[in-house]
Amino acid sequence: MAKAKAEALELIKQLPDDVTTGGIIEELFFKQQVERGLQDVQEGRVLTHQELKERIAGWRKSAGR
> Which tens digit of pLDDT belongs to each residue from 28-40?
999 999 999 999 9
Quickly state the pLDDT bin for 65 (edges 50, 70, 90). Answer: confident
The per-residue pLDDT for range 41-56, each reduced to its tens digit, is 999 999 999 999 999 9
Tally of structural domains, the chain: 1
| Radius of gyration of the chain from its Cα atoms, rounded to whole angstroms | 18
Mean pLDDT within 61-65: 91
Query: Can you give the residue range of the structural domain that contains 27?
Result: 2-62
* Dihedral Cα 24, 2, 6, 30, nearest 10 deg: -40
